[in-house]
Every structure is written in structure tokens, then in C-alpha cells.
Amino acid sequence: METRQYPHRRFNPLTGEWVLVSPHRLLRPWQGKVERLPEDQRPRYDPDCYLCPGNTRAGPVRNPAYQSTFVFDNDFPALLPEAATFPGESSALFRSEGEPGRCQVVCFSPRHDLSLPELSVSQIAAVIGAWTEQTRLLLEDPGIAHVQIFENKGELMGCSNPHPHSQIWATCHLPNEVQKELDHQRAYRERHGSSLLLGYLAQEQQRSERIVCANQHFTALVPYWAVWPFETLVLPHRAAGRLTDLNDKEIDALADLLKRLTTRYDNLFQCSFPYSMGFHQAPRTEDAGDFQLHMHFFPPLLRSPVVRKFMVGFEMLGMPQRDLTPEQAADRLRESSEVHYKEDRR
Ligand SMILES: [Zn+2]
Ligand SMILES: [Zn+2]
């Protein structure tokens, strides 16, 4: 066995955590057979969908006949503004505090049947525009310190409604992952005098083996420390803390990159590729200047539309582990077409 194939662990400099990589378990050639799922027969409009235009939502609320994106406060929010008055505890062993915040839903378009890769670049730019505007509005509230934008796509990820939409959870405190990433980016700046993610991008551009696709302003790559089989990281080419720091050209470029990346995902197993994805952007804290805007895609699929990765056993008790290397995953995503398979068939 080549020494390159030996089990090893890789360090995630954003979180300070490790992942175990066991490439020797995949030495056998790729078993190319891919099961097909029955074609998704979603209608353009579903009268029973609470996200479609004109339909009734919770109680008496009715959606407007929206034409583009549509943003509203979640009718069943995980966070409430009035939680500030929660009577917490502050002893060493019993500690709790109120988490005031807000939850919103952003529908991508009126179409019940079109996910991100099936929208046009300008429609995706409108979605990014809506995320940007909500980030700006939510951070005007002094009680909000962090804005988390994310999409759970597919039943496999526990998505409760197939109408393409994303969520925004705005909190008064920093979530764990964001706090870790802020601390590590700040420490990196103090130690090396430069930006962790801009430095990382520059080195990945030189090595090029993990880059999936890119344009003038953004790059999508499989990070060296990826945990999920086809995990990717989307990075801007210059320093930017939040979506609100991007100009119109950069928003268009991000839309272009998202269409190309998510099309590659769908084409990989010719299915609507499930994932949890989201932005990490600078929280409103002192000294968040080191925080670089980026996106994570965490897809669970491993070998086919029905074989997924689970975090069990060693992964729950010890640390995450993978067989397929990030380099192999990047190869497969690069081989995947940027013409959507459904379009190909038309
Ligand atoms: Zn719908
Ligand atoms: Zn992140």
C-alpha cells in the first residue's frame, strides 16, 4: 500500500477539530452502478402546499400571489423575541440563559417544482438579494448578534416541505460553530498576520486538486478537512465579512457559482441532491473583522441516491471518519456536468 493511502487525520483550522481519513478502504475501483429513483413528479403549483402563492398558511394567514422571492416570519419559530425575560441559572453546573431571536422563511420562487439548480442565474441572484436584505434588516436590531441563513434540502435532511425554500435564524448569542470559527480566524490573524480563509484559498488555487469550479469572484472546493462525502466550501476571492459587503457583480457571480455547483450535485447521482447548506458571516461582536464570509454544503449521500452516510459508532463517541478522500470527491464533482440532467433529457 502506498503511504498516501494510510489512515491519517486531518485538521480543520476553522473549528480546531480533526477528521479521520481511511482511503485504503476504497482501494477497490469505483462501483459505477447507480440506482435511479423514480422521477420526481412535483407539480408547478400544489394547492395543499403552505408555501405556494395564494395558499393558506397557519390559521387565517394567506400567502400573497408572489412572483419572485417571498420572505415571512416562521409561523412555528424555534426562537422568540420575548425569550430575553427567561429566568436563567448561572452556577458552575447549571447554567442557562434566554435566547431571544427570530426565525424567517425565504421561498426561492413561486414555483413548487424548481430547486436552486433549476432556477436561472438571475432568479438565484434574487434569492441572494433577499438573504442580503434580511441580513441587513435583522442586524439593525441591537438584540441580534448573528444571522444564520440555511437550507435543508430533501426529505433525507428532514425537510418538511418540498417547496424550495431556506430559513433564517437570527440569535442574540453566537451559535457554537460560529464562535469556534470566529476564535480560530482571530487566532490565525494574530499568529500569521493574514486572513485564514484567503490564505487557504490561495494555496488551494495553487494545488488545484480539490477545486470543483470557480469564476472571477468565487471558488467552490472540497475542503482538505471535509467530513461529509461530497462536502464543499464556497469562498469569495476578497475580504468580505457578510453578504451585505458584496456588490451587485459579486452577487451575480455567486449566483452563477451556486447554479453550477448544485447542478453538478444533482448530476452526480441523477437525483435532486439532498444537503444542508448555509452561510457563515461575521457576527455583530467587537473584533469580528477577521471573519470571512463563506458557505458550507453538507450533503449526506455517499454512493447513490439511497446510500447515505451516518454519524454513528466511532463518529458519535470519538470523531468523524471518511473513506472517500476529499481529493477523490473533488474529482467526481469535477467530472459531473454543469448541464442539469433534466435539461439534458428535454
Ligand atoms: Zn409549494
Ligand atoms: Zn463556516
**Per residue in 309-327, pLDDT tens?**
989 999 999 999 999 999 9
The answer on pLDDT for 344 being more than 70 is no
Under 8 Å between Cβ of 192 and 199: yes
Domain spans of the chain, in order of start:
41-83+98-336
Q: What is the pLDDT of residues 267-286, one digit of tens each?
A: 999 999 999 999 999 999 87
Pairing of strands 275-280, 294-298: antiparallel
CA of 177 to the centre of ligand 2 (A): 7
At a CB cut-off of 8 Å and minimum separation 6, what does 142 contact? none
Under 8 Å between Cβ of 180 and 160: no
CA of 63 to the centre of ligand 2 (A): 33
Percent of the chain exceeding pLDDT 90 equals: 83
pLDDT at position 32, please? 52
CA of 36 to the centre of ligand 2 (A): 32
Tell me which ligand sits closest to the C-alpha of residue 50: 1
pLDDT at position 345, please? 67
Pairing of strands 232-236, 275-280: unpaired
Tell me whether residue 165 is one of the annotated catalytic residues.
yes
Q: Which three cell numbers stand for residue 132?
A: 442580503
pLDDT at position 247, please? 98
Q: What is the distance of C-alpha 318 from the center of its chain? A: 24
The answer on pLDDT for 27 being more than 70 is no
Please classify residue 203 by burial: count the beta carbons closer than 10 Å to its beta carbon, then call 0-12 exposed, 13-18 middle and 19+ buried: exposed
- Which residues lie across from 90 on neighbouring strands? 95
Rounded to whole angstroms, how far apart are CA atoms 324 and 207? 19
Residue with cell 442574540: 172
At a CB cut-off of 8 Å and minimum separation 6, what does 325 contact? 21, 23, 26
- Domain 41-83+98-336, CATH class in plain words: alpha beta
The answer on pLDDT for 60 being more than 90 is no
From the candidates 165, 184, 294, 340, give the one annotated as an active-site residue.
165
Higher-scoring residue by pLDDT: 160, 337: 337
Tell me which ligand sits closest to the C-alpha of residue 48: 1
